[in-house]
Amino acid sequence: MEQIILLGVLSTALSAVHAQSFLYSPQWGPIGYKEREKQKDATAMDTIIKANEFQVSRIIDGTTTLREGDIAVSTGRRSKACFARSCLWSKSVDGHVYIAYSLSPDYSEMETKQIEKGMENIEKGTCVRFVPRTHQRDYIDIQPMSGCWSYLGVRGGRQAVSLQSPQCLQVGVISHELMHALGFVHEQSRFDRDTYVTIMWPNIWRDRLRNFEKFKTDSLDLPYDYDSIMHFGRYSFSQDGQPTIIPKNSQIIKLGQANSLSHIDKLKINRMYKCGDRDDN
């Protein structure tokens, strides 16, 4: 009888260990990120996916959803691209584009400085300037809500940008979301992307296939930018740890950025806002 009891206890203990191993297995990480934790070249978008898959419902509220992982879209609004000048922020007579912002008091001094670094990433080499809001009607309201996301372009009045703490407070992530607020979509959404990359549809989670749609956006006469901070990583939304995007020209091309805007990202800003191609970066 004692042997039977001992065997029963041992069996229960082994089952518990097996269950714990199962629950904490790396394969149960966030969709599209599980293999990237092992990589040293994780992109800003990889970090966003990790934060949003755990923290954000795809429906933010009754009228707003997330598209492509981090673009907030309200019912009835155009969601993907700035087809009209009306989605761009106004340009001042001095040639700069001033983006007014308010910052949640819930951010610490260190977190505030990190957000400012993300803004400086965009300001350096471009005509964009982020300024604390005083009286401006149109402005971005940066809050530590759930996940990392932004609306696309200027919407009129107050518009939220979510930078959850600490998950979204990496400089590259901050710059990525502010680029959305300026009106830029993900680089692989370009209408000509199939010339440059192959989308590995079988490797993508079925309910994330829409994140890889392409749209007829304005390329601004600039080349496809593998290095853009707006580019998905090679394993974004992978269901099996296999690549979801493969460059056509070379297997060694790195996709996306972790911390900085690429040179072409800055050219895009200046061309979109007709500020000239500066070279002071």
Residues annotated in a binding site for Zn(2+)? 176, 180, 186
- 177 catalytic? Reply is yes
Three-class HEC string of the chain: CHHHHHHHHHHHHHHHHHHHHHHCCHHHCCCCCCCHHHCCCCCHHHHHHHHHHHHCCCECCCCEEEECCCEEEECCCCCCCCCCHHHCCCCCCCCCEEEEEEECCCCCHHHHHHHHHHHHHHHCCCCEEEEECCCCCCEEEEECCCCEEEECCCCCCEEEEEECCCCCCCHHHHHHHHHHHHCCCCHHHECCHHHCEEECHHHECHHHHHHHCCECCCCCCCCCCCCCCCCCCCCCCECCCCCCEEECCCCCCCCCCCCCCCHHHHHHHHHHCCCCCCCCC
Residue ranges of the binding site: 176, 180, 186
Catalytic residue among 35, 123, 177, 187: 177
Residues known to be catalytic: 177
